[in-house]
């Protein structure tokens, strides 16, 4: 064939098209088989050939080429661009056909390639002479057609109007997909083409989300166009259409509507009259079911809050407008008040969002709350406090940085750190806020002068509780002299209080002061120690927290806590008319002295101090008992309050300890050291002839059966603490403890639950047989007992001290508890358990086979926790049990299993 075509081409060199039409046709038709294609083009382009005859053949020739012939295609484009004597419409149409044929070939080429640029320029020349819109629509039928067409529309603006009108008749999904790319670009350049926006309602309500989304961009450009032309009415109409799209069924359209509104706010294209309506619509999306939309809505609220025109005044608080006479000024302040109300709605929605299990949008919520607090949105103090609980999650960095930003902003406005932080101080305390304060101190976000500022405020007699609270939880240890000064001041005001309210307030201040840390230890005879003891003995009322805190303070401050603790008990005995304060103090001293001995043991083993070990007490019985008991002791006070933990004895008191301990026995083995300290705790503390605690054992036991309910609560708590110290004492009073688990007084039952947790961790094998009592407590009539039981079970499960097996139905029953907080805690625990697929599957099986009516109400929640991998096997196992057919079918549907799975399974009647 190649040879034949060469012969034809050679003969045609002497013939024009009019003389050898058939041979020309035969040559171009087989151009793809001919190697020398450029020769064919040269034959066609000779001057002897009329354009009316060349163009149809050139079209056929071009159809046989490919993009690999880019050089030749470029020559063809240059040829057509150089045709100056074209007069007929038919010739123009042929050129347009050829050009669009080449466009189709080159659409994969990058936008700025040479051939694409040549095509665009040539089409611009001939497009004005003949219609090219139909060709453009044809191109839209292919993928990425929009990218190919845009340069042509951009260079030929005269055809854009006709193109837009033609697009309105297109229903193909591919065409509309390409239109969604083109129309926003067109509206940006030629917004006037879309002024009759009502005509595009069909596209705006299209079944395809990308068309609905595309017209949101068109609307944005129209708003800018009408703003330039000062047509406020149409601007507002279009903004209403955008707001409507925030309720679209598809989340990407809702997200796009929020993005468009954000852009309009940035351009200041939303009128004052529409601002409140738009912001209310944005606020309604804060609780959207889709995370991406919620994040966008909260982000937009942050943006409009941070960029409001009034932020330059550093506040957006509401203003009174009644007395403002200037009309323009009054309108602006009315707008400010409307905006303030809108931000309050946003704040309320975010608080509702935070009440759930917020994860991905927590950072956005923190940012909004920070801005709301800074600009004075009403209720922002309370709202900001609600996010404190996020400090226990990975959001701790964001929270700390937010506080840092606020502290910097307040300082720039002349507000001291104390004035800002005191607004979050609560009389009842807040563990989350205390954790934040510690983070602020640890990261250096609080200035070094902050401690002095707090002390100065306190000594001036103003904001006593707030300053002492912040001093307790934020500052580094203060000097002994500073604490002495504060303690004397507080004592004077405490004992000169008039009325119950003032006494309660000063007692709270006193509790803060005695817990403040100091840099050094003090002598047992120091005024601080003696004053604390004196104050406790002078108090004619009983407050167990004051007793516990005083004991903790003595062990934290005194260089010789043995002497100080004995002095405390003697002082109480000499002044107290009742026994509750004595019993409470004995229990607290026992548990704190046990901790103190454990710290001494660590120091001895670390060779930091030496101890004179009396080897005569290290009997085989002591050694064996020590080895059989869990060495890890977790006391009740340690569980209730982390501040009760002994962090370690500082090096600066080693000399004081060493001065009373023989330095000759540094070579004792760790076994002997452990046995010695175990003997002291097991025998000496509660059974030694010279032990102060031993003297009060009988008093505690007798008070447990007294007629005074309050006294029994205190006595049982002290009894539990003594049981934590000595296994021998624990064993002899274990039955009394078991009986207290079912005591008539709910307070005793609640404390016994906490004690059970300690005993399970200290004496696991001796107690594990009765751990079912913890599960029984989940059904207690008292909410505090149920909560304690649940929290203890949660702690023990996470530490693997108990197993969930056998108790699945009891945990599921909590999902229907009368108390909302219990239901929430149960849901969270089950979600955590579900991280282990085997455990949650076993729990679900137990709940199903128990035939609990509560299961049916929560079947959907529980089935969501089951992993896909175990569903079929779990269902098969359930189907073999005696499960009601209705429940079995409900589980099958909830698991979304194949219907064939049930065909061979028996449905038990």
Alpha carbons within 13 A on the beta-carbon side of 909:
0
Neighbours of 423 (CB within 10 A): 11
Domain ranges of the chain: 416-476, 477-577, 803-909
Pick the closest to residue 9 from 54, 41, 55, 47 (CA basis).
41
Span 394-405, average pLDDT: 86
Say if residues 667 and 553 touch (Cβ distance below 8 Å).
no
Burial of 870 (0-12, 13-18, 19+ CB in 10 A): middle
DSSP letters for 309-370:
GGGGGT-------TT---HHHHHHHHHHHHHHHHHHHHHHHHHHHHTS---TTHHHHHHHHH
> Comparing C-alpha atoms, which of 745, 789, 594 is closest to residue 678?
594
Strand partners, 558: 522
DSSP tag of 204: H
How far is it, in rounded angstroms, from Cα 554 to Cα 535? 13
- Number of C-beta neighbours around residue 15 at 10 A: 15
Q: Is the pLDDT of residue 723 over 90?
A: yes
- Which pLDDT does position 852 carry in this prediction? 63
Both tokens of 538, joined, read 């002078």
Check if the beta carbon of residue 811 is closer than 8 Å to that of residue 775. Answer: no
What per-residue confidence (pLDDT) applies to 508? 95
SS3 of residue 805 by DSSP: coil
pLDDT at 655 over 60: no
Among candidate residues 565, 526, 531, the one with its CA nearest the CA of residue 548: 565
**What is the pLDDT, as a whole number, of residue 109?**
62
Residue length, the chain?
Answer: 909
- Write the pLDDT tens digit of every residue in 818-849: 888 888 888 888 888 888 888 888 888 888 88
* Under 8 Å between Cβ of 153 and 103: no
Mean pLDDT of the chain: 81
Min mean pLDDT across 402-416, 610-624, 802-816, 873-887 is at 610-624
Neighbours of 852 (CB within 10 A): 18
In this structure, of 150-164, 397-411, 421-435, 734-748, the range with the lowest mean pLDDT score is 150-164
Widest CA span in the chain: 137
Among 384-388, 418-422, 579-583, 857-861, where is mean pLDDT lowest?
857-861
Sign of CA dihedral 124, 125, 127, 129: positive
Confidence of residue 193 (pLDDT cuts 50, 70, 90): confident
Rounded mean pLDDT, 538-567:
93
What is the average pLDDT across 535-539?
Answer: 93
**Six token digits for residue 143:** 């993928």
- What does the pLDDT look like over 274-309, one tens digit per residue? 888 899 999 999 988 888 999 999 999 999 888 887
Query: pLDDT grade, residue 260 (50/70/90)?
Result: very high
């Amino acid at each position: 064939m190649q040879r034949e075509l060469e012969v034809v081409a050679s003969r045609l060199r002497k013939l024009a098209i009019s003389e050898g039409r058939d041979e020309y046709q035969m040559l171009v038709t087989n151009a793809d088989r001919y190697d020398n294609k450029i020769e064919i083009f040269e034959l066609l382009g000779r001057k002897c050939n009329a354009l009316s005859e060349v163009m149809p053949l050139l079209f056929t020739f071009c159809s046989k080429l490919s993009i690999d012939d880019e050089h030749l295609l470029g020559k063809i484009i240059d040829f057509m661009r150089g045709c100056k004597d074209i007069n007929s419409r038919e010739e123009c149409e042929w050129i347009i056909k050829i050009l669009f044929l080449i466009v189709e070939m080159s659409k994969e080429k990058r936008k700025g390639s040479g051939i694409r640029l040549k095509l665009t320029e040539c089409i611009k020349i001939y497009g004005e002479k003949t219609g090219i819109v139909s060709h453009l629509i044809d191109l839209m039928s292919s993928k990425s057609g929009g990218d190919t067409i845009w340069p042509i529309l951009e260079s030929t603006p005269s055809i854009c109007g006709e193109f837009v009108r033609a697009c309105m008749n297109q229903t193909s999904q591919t065409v509309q997909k390409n239109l969604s790319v083109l129309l926003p670009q067109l509206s940006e350049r030629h917004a006037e083409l879309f002024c009759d926006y009502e005509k595009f309602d069909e596209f705006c309500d299209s079944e395809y989300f990308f068309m609905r989304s595309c017209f949101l961009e068109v609307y944005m450009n129209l708003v800018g166009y009408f703003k330039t032309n000062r047509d406020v009415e149409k601007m507002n109409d279009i903004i209403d259409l955008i707001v409507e799209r925030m309720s679209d069924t598809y989340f990407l359209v809702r997200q796009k509507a929020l993005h468009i509104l954000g852009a309009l706010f940035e351009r200041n294209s939303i009128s004052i009259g529409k601002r409140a309506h738009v912001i209310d619509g944005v606020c309604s999306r804060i609780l959207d079911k889709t995370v991406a939309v919620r994040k966008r809505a909260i982000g937009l609220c942050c943006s409009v809050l941070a960029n409001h025109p009034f932020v330059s005044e550093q506040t957006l608080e509401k203003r009174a407008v009644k007395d403002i006479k200037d009309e323009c000024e009054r309108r602006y302040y009315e707008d400010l008040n409307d905006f303030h109300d809108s931000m309050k709605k946003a704040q309320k929605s975010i608080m509702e969002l935070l009440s759930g299990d917020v994860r991905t949008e927590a950072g956005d919520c923190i940012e909004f709350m920070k801005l709301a607090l800074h600009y004075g949105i009403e209720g922002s103090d309370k709202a900001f406090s609600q996010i404190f609980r996020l400090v226990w999650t990975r959001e701790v960095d964001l929270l700390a940085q937010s506080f840092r930003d606020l502290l910097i902003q307040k300082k720039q406005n002349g507000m001291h750190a104390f004035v800002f932080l005191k607004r979050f101080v609560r009389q009842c305390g807040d563990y989350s806020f205390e954790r934040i304060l510690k983070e602020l101190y640890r990261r250096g976000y609080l200035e070094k002068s902050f401690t002095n500022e707090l002390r100065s405020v306190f000594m001036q007699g103003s904001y006593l509780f707030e300053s002492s609270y912040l001093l307790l939880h934020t500052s580094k240890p203060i000097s002994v002299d500073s604490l002495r000064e504060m303690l004397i001041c507080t004592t004077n005001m405490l004992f000169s209080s008039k009325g119950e309210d003032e006494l309660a307030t000063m007692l709270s201040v006193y509790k803060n002061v005695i817990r403040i840390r100091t840099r050094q230890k003090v002598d047992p005879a120091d005024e601080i120690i003696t004053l604390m003891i004196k104050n406790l003995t002078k108090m004619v009322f009983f407050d167990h927290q004051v007793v516990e805190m005083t004991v903790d303070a003595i062990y934290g401050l005194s260089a010789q806590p043995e002497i100080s603790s004995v002095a405390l008990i003697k002082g109480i005995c000499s002044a107290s008319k009742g026994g509750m304060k004595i019993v409470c103090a004995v229990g607290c001293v026992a548990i704190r002295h046990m901790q103190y001995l454990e710290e001494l043991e660590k120091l001895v083993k670390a060779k930091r101090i030496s101890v004179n070990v009396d080897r005569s007490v290290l009997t085989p019985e002591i050694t064996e008992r020590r080895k059989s008991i869990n060495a890890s002791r977790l006391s009740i006070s340690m569980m209730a309050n982390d501040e009760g933990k002994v962090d370690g004895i500082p090096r600066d008191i080693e000399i004081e300890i060493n001065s009373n301990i023989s330095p000759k026995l540094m070579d004792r083995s760790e076994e002997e050291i452990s046995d010695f300290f175990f003997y002291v705790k097991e025998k000496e503390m509660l059974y030694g002839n010279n032990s102060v605690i031993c003297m009060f054992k009988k008093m505690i036991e007798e008070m447990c059966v007294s007629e005074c309910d309050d006294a029994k609560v205190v006595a049982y708590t002290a009894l539990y603490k003594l049981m934590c110290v000595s296994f021998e004492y624990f064993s002899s009073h274990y039955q009394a403890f078991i009986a207290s688990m079912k005591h008539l007084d709910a307070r005793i039952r609640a404390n016994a639950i906490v004690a059970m947790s300690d005993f399970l961790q200290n004496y696991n094998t001796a107690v594990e047989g009765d751990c079912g009592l913890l599960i029984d407590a989940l059904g207690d009539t008292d909410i505090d007992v149920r909560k304690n039981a649940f929290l203890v079970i949660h702690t023990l499960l996470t530490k693997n001290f108990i197993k969930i097996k056998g108790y699945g139905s009891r945990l599921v029953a909590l999902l229907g508890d009368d108390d909302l907080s219990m239901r929430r805690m149960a849901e969270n625990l089950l979600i955590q358990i579900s991280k282990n697929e085997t455990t949650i599957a076993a729990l679900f099986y137990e709940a199903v086979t128990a035939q609990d009516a509560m299961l049916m109400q929560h079947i959907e929640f529980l089935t969501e926790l089951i992993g896909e991998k175990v569903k079929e096997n779990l269902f098969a196992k359930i189907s073999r049990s005696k499960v009601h057919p209705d429940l079995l079918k409900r589980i099958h549907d909830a698991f979304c299993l194949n219907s064939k799975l049930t065909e061979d399974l028996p449905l038990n009647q």
